[in-house]
Each structure stands twice: as C-alpha cells, then as structure tokens.
Amino acid sequence: MDRKRIIIIGGSAAGPKAAAKARRLDEHADIILLQKGADLSMASCGYPYYVGGTFDDRNQLICTATGVVRDSKYYLNAKSIDARTSTEVTAIDRAKKTVAFKKLDNGETGSLPYDKLIIATGAVPRMPPIPGIDLKGISTLQSMSDADFLRGVRDQRSVKKAVVVGGGLIGIETAEALHEAGIEVTIVEMLPQILTFLDWEMAKLVENHARSKGANVIVNNGVAEFLGKDGHITGVKLKNGTELECELAVVSIGVIPNVKLAKDAGLTIGALGGIEVDNHMRTSDKDIYAVGDCVEIQHRLTGKKVLAPYGDLANLEGRVAGENVIMGDVATFPGTVQSGICKVFEYSAGATGLSEGNALKNGFTDVITAVNASPDKPGFMGGKVVVTKLVANKKTGKILGAQVVGPGNVAKQVAQWALAIQGGLTVDDMVNADLPYAPPFSLAIDHAIAAAHIMQNKIKDRMKGISVVDVKKKLDAGEKPFILDARGPDEFEAMRLGIGETLIPLGALRKRLNELPADKNQEIICFCKISLRGYEAALVLEGNGWKNVRVMEGGIMAWPYPREK
C-alpha cells in the first residue's frame, strides 16, 4: 500500500488541527509535524489568563480536556502523528518535494520528502523600530516563553509599573492581566482609539470603563523611545515628549505573517504580506497548503483579502487543509466576517461584520447605523447593560455588522449577529427573530431584536436618529439645539449629561408642550437613559407639529464624553 506522506510545518493551532484531521481521514498516512518551538498545540489565546492568574497550572495551556499534555508522545500514541519539537524547517524544495530541517537542540540537519505539505508558520509580533527596543523588560505576549516571563513577573511581584504598547485585542487582554497581577498599567495607542474593530464612540465606552477600573489609557500617542538603565527598561518616552516610568513594557502592535519559508520557496505572497491561498487553502503550488496566521483569507462581506490571525479561524482552516491533503480538494473555507471579542475588566467588547468606518472605507453605500442600549435580561434577574451599534444597508436592509460593548452578555449578542450576517439576514428578518427566551437569559424582546426594531424604525424614517458623536459636534460648533431629557427628576438628580438639556419627563410632556420652542422648525434633540423614552418623546413632538426632532441614539448609556454627573 502506498502511504501518503504529509508534512506540516508549525505546531501551534492550525498545524496540529490539520494533522489531526488528516489522520482521522487516513489511518495509514505518514504524518510528520515539525515544530520549531518546544511546545505543541498551545492554547495561546489563554496566555493572558495564565499571566493574570485566572489559573495557575501552566500545563493547562498545553493539555487536553482530560489533563494529558499534548507533547510528542501524546501525538504519537493518541494520533499516530510524528510531532517533532525544536525542529526548524530551513527550506522547502518544491521541485524535489522535500523540506530541509534542523534540530535546534543538537544541530542535526536532514530532509524529508512530502506528497503534500501544509505550511502553518503563524505570525511574528510586529516590533517598533525605535531606540531601546532591545532593553531587558520589553516583551510581547505571543509565545509560551513570553507567557512564562510575564507570569514570572506576576509571581515575583517585582514590577510596579508597566506600559502596554498597542490597544488592540492582545494589548487590552495583556493590560488586564498585568492589572490583575497588581501592576499599575498604562496602555499607549497611536491611533485615536483602542480596539479598532469598534467605531470610535463604541471604543470610547470601553476605554472609559478601563480607566474607571484603574488602567491608564493614552490614545493618539505613540512610543518614540524605550528608556533604560544598565540594559533594563526604566520607562518609555512618547511621541509628544511625555515620559512614563515603568519596569516592564509589553509590545502588542499586531503581528506579521511569518512567510519567509513560503517566500523563499517561491510561493505567491499576497498584497498584505500573507501567503496567498485559494478557498481550499491551497497555495500557488498544488501540493502545498497554508493555514493560520500566515495566510490571507477572504472577507465574506467585502470580498477582499484580509489578515485574520485568530485562533478559531486557524483551527477551521487547518481542518479544511487536513481534509484536502487526504481527500483531494473537497473542502472549502468560506472566509471570515471578522467576528472577535475580548474581555475588558467587567466589560466585554465584541464585533462581527463591518463597523461603520470599515463599511465606508470599503466603499459600501447606503450605510445606516442604529444604536441600542438596554439590559441583557430583566432588571429583576440582575440584567446588565449592553450597547449595540448595528450597521446595515438602508436600501436592502441587509445586516453588515454589529458592535457590542458593556458589562452584560456581549458574547451572545455578537454570536447572534455573526450568524445573522452569515445567513444573509435582513433587518426585517431580525425584527421578528425567534430566539430562546426565559428571564434568566434575556429580555422578552431580546436586545438584538430591539436593536433591529430601532434600525427598522430608522430605515422606515419613523425614527430620526442622531449619534452621540454628531450631537457633540453640534455643541462644539456652537449650535444650540433644544435638548430634551425625557427621564424622571430622580434620575436627573442621580446622573446627567449637563449639555444644556431641559428635563421634561415623558409622562408630563404632553401637558408641558408650551415649554418647547415656539418655532416648530427649531432643532430638538431628545434622549433618556437609553433613548426609548427619548424616542417616544420625539414622536409626541412630531405628532404636535415640531418638524426637526431627533433622537440621540443609545441615550446616556452611549454617551462616551464626560458628563456633569
């Protein structure tokens, strides 16, 4: 019998998954996995939680659900996969169909033939080319050794202040981990906001929360230089000249696809720097596949290639390639809608599909947004607020994206929208969605459905919304709209914006219309805590002849600026 020879380069997520899938489809193939590092199949997304002390047993990052460490022996015995660690592939010879390797522990070199090759070489952290970058005490959080180092920092309690460079997913998770470890943390982000998968005003809500939990967040400012003494970091100097003391800096400004092997072998590299693959995860060489953080995949909404270095996609891509190397190109990978989520102290922040900014940047037209702020379940069940910004096409009603932040159940909301998008659902579909309801789990009208209701009202022009950002712009420009807060006096006493608003509770509005501007054309902006009463107030005014009434979407819960109270 002719045994297929499958070689997989890379042993983190996509590689092992591809190897396992290939094995399941062919008990007799020769499957060799070559891993440069010492560990295999690391739960790298778990690093921040190990660093932060959510759990203490390092082995949990590299063991199966039943506690068996996924080492070479495990792969050999349980999966009959020859997984060689500390083994670097130095070259791919496509003509001879071999890979050259070098054992990092003893210097041994050799070459292995393949029938099919899978490249899963991952990505490497992007490092800023600035002075001091080689100082001790500057780390990333990308590898087991990074995790070991930072966990050591936690356990030794040797660091008082740390700077996290970069406010993306990993940066935020790392900042929280260090904060949990008792370290005073500053996040420095060059862009105007953290978490760029969110639109600015949504990211701002998260940023405000992080600050309220004691993390310092600096945006619109990059690191110009790492400062040091005796070879060890003592601080960072920002582009605006500010100096921050710290004994630790973690750099998390993104990753670069690790494509050297592929490039040297002459495989096609995409415009974004990732290996180009077709929807079978096959490279420009018919016998070579590539999966995980080193490839470019298709965005399912824009049709464009994107880098999507996420552990979940790596697994799915690995499964597709593992199937195809054994069965021929039968499995396809449809690409990504870029669903993502992270925990940020007591908030979660997630998104799927396109943000408003991304939709516009990608040339989408007729883009309309709607904001919903409401609890995730009834107050009597301890519901917590979530704020959703929904993005849709005004003409077709097609849902393009959703961003969700807040202390409530964000993950479920984002997952719902992710599947709504993947099912091609429209706003009208979501308006009458049938979701599982009981008070311990959701509102009778689920937060997502309510968001669709708001969007439908906007599309049908029944609700004229205005974003918190546009309200602020008007105020900053000196405009003087009549601003109506439709809440009750107690609520007003406890919390208020202080932007010149007039308090008229919704329940008194119809009797107090004389307090509204006499000019029926004057602009009026209504809101309440979440802008449901604000919406009803706007309808009362429109019903009584005012012609220029708008609802500030999401109300106070979506207001990302400082407030009076």
Q: Which stretch binds a copy of itself (CB under 8 A): 86-94, 139-147, 286-294, 487-495?
A: 487-495
Residues 480, 523 contacting (CB under 8 angstroms): no
The Cα 287–Cα 260 span in angstroms is 18
Cα dist from 551 to 241, 330, 534, 536, 542, whole Å: 41, 51, 6, 9, 11
The Cα 398–Cα 364 span in angstroms is 12
Which residue in the set 30, 115, 329, 429 belongs to the binding site for a copy of itself (CB under 8 A)?
Answer: 429
The Cα 356–Cα 430 span in angstroms is 19
The Cα 552–Cα 389 span in angstroms is 13
Amino acid in position 275:
I
Comparing CB distances to a copy of itself, the nearer of 228 and 505 is 505
Closest approach of a copy of itself to the CB of residue 512, in Å = 11
Tell whether residue 1 is a contact of a copy of itself (CB under 8 A). Answer: no
Binding positions for a copy of itself, 185-224, rule CB under 8 A? none
Comparing CB distances to a copy of itself, the nearer of 107 and 424 is 424
Q: Residue 44: exposed, middle, or buried by beta-carbon count in 10 A (0-12, 13-18, 19+)?
A: buried
Which residue in the set 510, 512, 547, 563 belongs to the binding site for a copy of itself (CB under 8 A)?
Answer: 510
Q: 139-154 burial by CB neighbour count: b if 16+ within 10 A, else e?
A: bbbbbbebbebbbebb
Binding positions for a copy of itself, 226-285, rule CB under 8 A? none
Secondary structure (H, E, C), 497-530: CCCCCEECCHHHHCCCHHHCCCCCCCCEEEECCC
Tell whether residue 371 is a contact of a copy of itself (CB under 8 A). Answer: no
Tell whether residue 24 is a contact of a copy of itself (CB under 8 A). Answer: yes
How many chain residues interact with a copy of itself (CB under 8 A)?
A: 107
Tell whether residue 489 is a contact of a copy of itself (CB under 8 A). Answer: no
Which residue in the set 411, 473, 519, 521 belongs to the binding site for a copy of itself (CB under 8 A)?
Answer: 411
Binding positions for a copy of itself, 285-304, rule CB under 8 A? 300
Tell whether residue 337 is a contact of a copy of itself (CB under 8 A). Answer: yes
Place of tokens 């297929």: 4
- DSSP 3-state assignment of 331? coil
Comparing CB distances to a copy of itself, the nearer of 97 and 398 is 398
Closest approach of a copy of itself to the CB of residue 337, in Å = 5
Binding positions for a copy of itself, 133-172, rule CB under 8 A? 169
Tell whether residue 84 is a contact of a copy of itself (CB under 8 A). Answer: no
Which residue in the set 182, 214, 439, 500 belongs to the binding site for a copy of itself (CB under 8 A)?
Answer: 439
Distance between alpha carbon 40 and the CA centroid of its chain, in Å? 25
Which residue in the set 131, 334, 489, 500 belongs to the binding site for a copy of itself (CB under 8 A)?
Answer: 334
Comparing CB distances to a copy of itself, the nearer of 131 and 543 is 543
Binding mask 514-553 for a copy of itself (x = CB under 8 A): ---------------xx--x-xx--xx-xxx---------
Which residue in the set 446, 501, 523, 553 belongs to the binding site for a copy of itself (CB under 8 A)?
Answer: 446
Q: Which stretch binds a copy of itself (CB under 8 A): 91-99, 245-253, 284-292, 348-356?
A: 348-356
Backbone angles phi, psi at 557, to 5 degrees: -65, -25
Backbone angles phi, psi at 513, to 5 degrees: -65, -25
